[in-house]
Structures are given as structure tokens and as C-alpha cells.
Amino acid sequence: MLREQFPDAEVIVADDGSCDATAARAEEAGATVLRLPRRGKGQALSAAERAAPPGSLLLVDAEVRGDLTTLPGRPGLRIARFTRRAGGGFGIAKGAARALIALRAGLDTREPLSGQRALDARTRSAVFPLAPGFGAETRMTIDAARAGIDVEEVDVDLGHRATGRDLRGFVHRGRQLTHLLLATGPLRVNYRGTRLPLVGWAIAVHEPVVAAIGLADDLRSGPERGFRAHLQARRTTGVLKLAGIPLYALARTRSVSAALLVALSANTLNQLDTRPGRALKVYLACAIPLRAPVRIAVLLAPYDLREMAMLGDAGSNALGALLGLGSVNRFTGRGRWLAIGALAGLTALGERTSLGAIIERTPLLRRVDDWGRL
């Protein structure tokens, strides 16, 4: 269909771990196929965008049928509004997406979840990489509108394979609702260039103060990295963490050694949070003997490992603080100062080189580090 309607365009198919003949049929039709591990719609579209030549884009779902030639051709973001209705649920996910777009961008939309979209070069630059999963379209609309780009919905005579009001359909729309709620919150680009929701604020159920300090760093951090850079810059969110976490720990524990232990634990786990699941694995390994909370870490682990979300500074610092507070109750006297010395050594080592690089150069640590990732 696309080859007939756009004969001069390059057709790229992002095969997000499909189990059918999608990839083979696309290649037979002359398309460029990207075979990807299953990470979700937003990541698949972002990978295809990186492989596409410069210029405008037309995004189309695989099961769509109809004439798309009226969609591209004008500047801005143009979204297909289906004139034919089929299937669907009760409109909860769509209503939530409309409300979130109105809240974040002040824009009224009728088809916020439509995946059929035409983007000019300016829009492409403003919205990619996309938010992960099924939150990609909603966040794309928000980012485009907030960048001052014209967003227009266009009536197009299209058909598609709709989900129904059955168990499979409700599960799909439940995932869609979860993804778009995460996608409209704070996001950060990870080491792979993937844009992910920051979910570390969830640790606030156990450690609200340190999570809030870390969230400030997530939202307002600059280019500075390491103690020295932050101290030289003086007024940074990193300096807020350097001062705020130990002062909070001192007020809570009434002990200088305990405050040092909590602050160094928070910083060490933050230094380790450079790859999916790494900080959570270290946390869980330490949390059980220290009797720190584990349920929230277990709940977040699948999203972190599958690169559907990331802890950010809010999560890694708060989890580290929980380990530190647990250590305060377990270590006293000489044992506590030994723990402080070990953590201070790791911190100094992390200032000179990356702790992650050391893990990746050590075969056993690298194998453990890779467990559970896609």
C-alpha cells in the first residue's frame, strides 16, 4: 500500500519482535526492515527514525488500510482522524490522553492516540526520540505543541484492526493507559539514546525527602558531573544533593557517622545507576540482610531492565539512602567506620573512573550485570 501511494519514498519497517510474517513480507515488498527486540512502540519508532534519511516522515501502523496521500505535504504535525469507526473500548485511555495533552500543552484533540502522523523536518527534530511504548503519540503531540509547532487533525478514510471489548482488548488498553501516564511525566534520554520515563519518585513512599532532592536534580541538572565540577559551579542541583542529603540524615539520625553513611550510600548507588537494572540489583542484594524495603524495587525492576523506565537521581539516591539508614541500625562503632571507609573509597574511585566501566571490564561482574536485560 505505502509503496503504491509513495513510490519515491523509502519505506522502513520497524519489526518490534513480531512472531508472524510481517518482516518477511515487508522485505519481499522492497522495504528496509529493522528486526528489533521487543521493547515497545515508541522505541521501535525511534530506531526507525534514526535509520531514516533526513527530512519529513510519515508514521503508519502496520495494520492500517486506506489512502494516506492527503496526510503529508503541509508543515507541522498532521494527525489522521479516522472517519470510519470500528471496535474500541469505553474511551478511558483516549479520554485520559486528551486530558493530559490539554493539561500539558493547552491543546484540544479528538484523536490523541492515532499512530498515523506526518511530520516535517522541524517537527521530527522537536519530538524524537519518542517516549516509550504506547505513550509515544501522546507525548509527541505535547512536545510538538509546546515547541510552537502547528498540530492539525485531518479526516482520513482509513481502516484498521481494532481491539474489542474482550479480555485481550482491555489488557491492551490498560497497558496503553499506564504507558501514556508515564510518558507525560518527566523523561530522560539514557545511554542508548532512548527516551524513558523517570519513575524513581515512586521511592518517595519510603524515603520522600531524599527522593525529592534527587528529583530536583533530575528536573534541573546541568552538564556538571562529579563532586569537583559541582563545587566549582557552586549553584547546581548537585550541590543541593551534596549538602541536602547529609544534613537531612544528620537531622534524622543525630549522628555524624550515620549521616556520612547515608550520604555515601546514596551517592554510591547513584554512581552505579548507569545501565538498566544495575542499581536495583545492588540494592536488592544489600536490602535483604539490611532489612530495607524490597517490594517497590521488585515492582520497578522489570521496567528498568526492559528499558521502559529509569530510576533517575530520585530513585537511585533514595534507594541508596534506604540502604544507609538500614546500615545505621546494623553497624556501630568500628563496623560503621569500616563501611564509611569502603563507601568513601568507591566514591573516590568513581570520581577518577566510572564504576560501570570497572564492572564491564570484569567478566563475572559483567555477567551478573547483564542478567535480566533484553
Beta-bridge mates of residue 66: 158
Sorted by where each starts, the structural domains of the chain and their CATH numbers stand as 53-185 (3.90.550.10), 195-370 (no CATH)
| Cβ atoms within 10 Å of 220's Cβ, excluding its own | 10
The whole-number pLDDT of residue 90 equals 76
Q: Provide the residue type at 201 as one letter.
A: W
Instruction: Give per-10-residue mean pLDDT for the chain (374 aa).
Output: 81 84 79 86 93 94 85 92 72 92 95 94 96 94 97 87 72 86 91 91 95 90 64 71 92 95 95 94 95 94 91 95 93 91 91 87 93 83
What pLDDT does 88 receive?
Answer: 65
Q: How far apart are CA 213 and CA 206, in angstroms?
A: 14
Residue 21 in 3-state DSSP?
Answer: coil
Task: Say what the pLDDT of residue 353 is.
Answer: 83
Locate the DSSP E strands across 112-216. Answer: 117-119, 151-156, 158-159, 187-189, 195-197
The angle, 0 to 180 degrees and rounded to 10, between the axes of the packed helices 278-290 and 312-330 is: 20
Give the rounded distance of the alpha carbon of 309 from its chain centre: 4
Note the pLDDT of residue 16. Answer: 83
- The 10 Å CB-count burial string (b at 16+, else e) for 137-171 is bbbbbbbbbeeebebebbebebebeebeeeeeeee
pLDDT at position 4 is 81
The whole-model pTM stands at 0.83
In total, the chain counts a number of residues equal to 374
Cα–Cα distance list, 301 to 253, 278, 310, 319 (Å): 29, 10, 9, 13
What is the secondary structure of 59-80 as a DSSP string?
A: E--TT-EE--TTSSSSSSEEEE
**Residue 67: what pLDDT?**
85
The predicted pLDDT at position 164 comes to 67
